[in-house]
Amino acid sequence: MPRPVIGLPTYHHWTKGAPDERALEMRVSYCHAVAAAGGAPLLLPLIDDEDATDRLYGMLDGLLLCGGGDVDPSCYGAPDGGRNHNVNPARDRFELALARRALADGMPLFAICRGVQVLNVAAGGTLVQDIPTECPGALQHATSPRLPPEQIAHTVSVVPGSRLARALGRDGQAFAGAAVPVNSRHHQAIARVASGYVVSASASDGIIEAIEPSADASTPDSWVLGVQWHPENMAPVDPVMARLFRAFIATCRR
């Protein structure tokens, strides 16, 4: 069968200069993970052209929301606490619109790090703006950029029987009491989970690490999953994380 086309929304590279001279960016690790799982990554340019975006969206079999800067708190009705980094309103508008459209259409959607936060906001949830100041005693979730990107930071507990558990290949009781090692590069997290979604993984400090639609959601058959860690970095060396992308691509084929 032909490779399913997976849309990856790009974002502005943080360089000085006129807005029209900024570069659009996407980390190669996301593209490699999609291709290795059998998909064809298609970069979606962050441009203010609805017709062009609509044409590209029509080519997609799935949507991948990737990591990056913080979501503007105004998107979820909160005041700015002063600890947000690399906020890009244009990217917020672009990705929130794509996410809401994909959810409405039942398009498979996989969301990573910032992506799971965008997914939660798109569905009506809120965010923790800064874990260290808002969640005393939390683990170190924002690990040093000098460490290898696949470096394990902590473990997460996965809900048995969840879509995440099935995607990881450890369904049912295999996850009872199990700790899944993950990397971590974020200082924000999900606060209030959007209506119709449930937590499918969490860290030992209570920080939400994954969400998915609840079993009684209005579109339970659509494949939607968001994780707070970076499986695209772990997939080349961790077969368990590679299964996440294979599960996503398999659904997009159908």
* pLDDT digits 0-9 by tens, 160-219: 989 999 999 865 555 555 789 999 999 999 999 999 999 999 999 999 999 999 987 555
Q: Kindly report the pTM of this predicted structure.
A: 0.94
Which one of the listed residues 141, 187, 232, 252 is annotated catalytic? 232
Query: Whose CA is closest to 116, among 130, 127, 108?
Result: 127
- Report the pLDDT value the prediction gives residue 14, as an integer from 0 to 100: 67
Which one of the listed residues 141, 154, 186, 230 is annotated catalytic? 230
Find the mean pLDDT for residues 21-50: 95
Which one of the listed residues 31, 75, 113, 252 is annotated catalytic? 113
Q: Please enumerate in sequence order all residues whose Cβ is within 8 A of that of 10, keeping only pairs 6 or more positions apart, or say none.
A: 24, 25, 26, 43, 44, 45, 46
- Report the pLDDT value the prediction gives residue 175, as an integer from 0 to 100: 55
Place of tokens 């599960």: 247
**Stretch (H or E) spanning 127:** strand 127-128
Q: Residue 159 corresponds to which tokens in the numbers above?
A: 């809900």
Q: Place 51 in a pLDDT band, splitting at 50, 70 and 90.
A: very high
Is 212 one of the catalytic residues? no
| Most confident segment among 16-20, 145-149, 221-225 | 145-149
Find the mean pLDDT for residues 114-132: 98
Q: Let me know if 168 is exposed, middle or buried by CB neighbors in 10 A (0-12, 13-18, 19+).
A: buried
- Tell me the pLDDT of the chain averaged across its residues: 93
- Report the pLDDT value the prediction gives residue 1, as an integer from 0 to 100: 75
Is 252 one of the catalytic residues? no
State the chain's maximal CA–CA distance in angstroms. Answer: 55
Q: Place 141 in a pLDDT band, splitting at 50, 70 and 90.
A: very high
Is 25 one of the catalytic residues? no
Alpha-carbon gap, residue 91 to 209, rounded angstroms: 23
**Stretch (H or E) spanning 225:** strand 224-227
The full DSSP string for 159-175 is PTTSHHHHHHT--GGGG
Q: Residue 203 corresponds to which tokens in the numbers above?
A: 């860290």
Alpha-carbon gap, residue 232 to 34, rounded angstroms: 8
Query: Whose CA is closest to 75, among 90, 86, 65, 85?
Result: 90
